[in-house]
Copies of this chain bind each other. A is one copy, B any other.
Amino acid sequence: MTLIIHGSPLSPFTRKVTLSALEKNIEFQSRDLNPYTETERLAGLNPLKQIPIIQHNEFTLADSSAICGYFDAAYPKMQRLLPDDAKAKGAALWIEEYADTKLFKVISEGVFRPIFINQFLGKAPDLVIVDDAVRNRLPEPLSYLEAQLNVGKWFAGDQLSIADIAVYSQMVNLDHAQHLPSQENYPEIIGHYHRMQDRPVVAGLFKSEQAFLSEAIRQLSQKKPERQVLEE
């Protein structure tokens, strides 16, 4: 009964599935799958060529939302990611979708790619794109999510749900990029972010991502001189 999560530590959708498994206290193994370099292996697992993908014994499943729906059905006695109450369930699915599309797009295109993916490709960060995103593109989704939260609460009802995990999983990449907005400007959404990080499994995963990121950047900085030598 082995569950394997194929993905990459800085992918918000891998993070969403990993945190869901951790919150449900499901045993699993993580396998690195880099979507930029392992394109053939990825296409064999998912025709949409996206991570994460799970393998649970003989069963393979792609798409983070489908996987989290599967987790609730396969492990019904462990904490539910989707509330039973109809309105809370609808709201959770909606916030998950909003985080996975709108919030993802702005943070990925506007902050994560121009900083980290640029670096991984040996290019300088594009701070013009980042500055534009932080000033002009991020306020819309952050303000919308801010308005959906009540003081001290979770997104869909009184308990943590997939909505909280989905939003947090995107926000982490702002934190890694040192562009997390101030709690003064967004008290609810940043309060929620810290409430998530107060959970032991969330804090543990965040620390391991920071270690991964430091190591990746250290390796990149060591590579640079070699490349410069080659180019000279």
Contacts and interface: CB of A to CB of B under 8 A. Distances in A.
Contact of A89 (B69, B84, B96): B69
A96 B97 CA distance: 14
A93 B48 contact: no
B84 A73 contact: yes
Contacts of A195: none
A interface bracket (residues with beta carbon within 8 Å of B): 20 to 34
A97 B63 contact: yes
A87 B62 CA distance: 12
Chain A contact residues, majority secondary structure: helix
Interface in A200-221: none
A74 interface: yes
A150 to B, nearest CB: 16
B73 A86 contact: yes
A4 to B, nearest CB: 15
